[in-house]
Structures are given as structure tokens and as C-alpha cells.
Amino acid sequence: MAIRGWMPVALAAVAALALAGCTSGGSDDAPPPSAPPATTPAASAPATTPAPPTDAAPIPAPWDAYVGTWGDPEGVHLMIGGDGRFSGYDGCNRMGGRWDPEDDGGIEFDDVFMTQRACEGVDTPLSRLEEGRLDGETLTVLGDEDVFLLTLPRTD
């Protein structure tokens, strides 16, 4: 019976200690929690102008004709940028990388990266792209050993 008498007292003491640990101590000189932190205007001003790319040279003619969107922007497409980069979608995976002019007037796709989604029943010819060639307003995409992959019409 003696154990039952001190049990509620012990539980009350433990609860009081636990609640005491949840309160914050400190001096009355501290600012209230809702006060904003002190900052200087220069330190808090966001940058408004992005830095221009420093490593991208302008693409010379005739390769500037490659710059633009090729294919269906909502489906299979390539977006070739004037900064030497490209991005695209092959119906399943997103891709990107660099492109470089070739001596024969075509372009070569380099440093290609691609997501690795598994899409059953979807042909993904852009996953094998190596080169591009222009024929008027149509981009012909070639794979290894100049194997034809697909053509994409200009859409911009």
C-alpha cells in the first residue's frame, strides 16, 4: 500500500520537470519573437540581373540556322540554343547537352544526358542522337555511323 501512495506524487514530479524543460529562459532585454531581424538594405537586396554567360561564344553562320525549336513542343522535340546547348524530349525521357558545329555544315551533339524512365511501347529515337543536318526547315537527326533516326520540322 505504501508504494501506491507515493506513485501519484512521483508522476506529478516527473511531469513538472518535463514541463519546466519546455519553457525558455533568458533575460527581459531580448526582443520579442515577432520582431524582424536587423539587416542592412544592401545585404537584403536580391540580385535583379542574372550574370551573362562568360564561356559561350556566338554561334557563327551557317550554324545559327540550327537555333530554335524542332518538332512538337508538347511531344518529341529538340530545342537548340544559341549558347551551344540543347534540350529535348523523346516521348519518354528528357535530355540535354551541348552541340558543336561540324566542318561539313552539320552539328554534333555532345555530353548528352538523359533521364532513364521506362516507357513500354514508346520508340525513343532521340536517345541515340549523334548528329543533326538541316534541309530547309527540317532537322534530320542521325545516330552512330550516320544512321537515320528521324526528322523534325521547325516549330518556332
> Do 89 and 79 contact (CB within 8 A), yes or no?
no
| DSSP string for 70-104 | EE-TTSSEEEE-TTSEEEEE-SS-EEEEEEEE-TT
Residue-level pLDDT at 2: 55
- Interval 4-28 mean pLDDT: 53
* Residue 130 domain-assigned (yes or no): yes
Q: How many domains does the chain have?
A: 1
* Residue 46 domain-assigned (yes or no): no
Complete edge-to-edge strand list for the sheet that includes strand 68-71:
68-71, 77-80, 85-89, 94-101, 107-114, 131-135, 138-142, 148-153
Looking up residue 145, the CATH number of its domain turns out to be 2.40.128.270
Q: Give pLDDT tens digits for 34-57.
A: 444 444 444 433 433 343 444 555
Domain membership of residue 103 as a residue range: 63-153
* Residue 140 domain-assigned (yes or no): yes
The answer to whether residue 25 scores a pLDDT higher than 70 is: no
Distance between CA 120 and CA 92 in Å, rounded? Answer: 9
Q: Which residues pair with residue 22 across a beta bridge?
A: none
Q: pTM to 2 decimals? A: 0.61
> Do 98 and 84 contact (CB within 8 A), yes or no?
yes
* Residue 133 domain-assigned (yes or no): yes
Q: How does residue 63 score in pLDDT terms, banded at 50, 70 and 90? A: confident
The answer to whether residue 80 scores a pLDDT higher than 60 is: yes
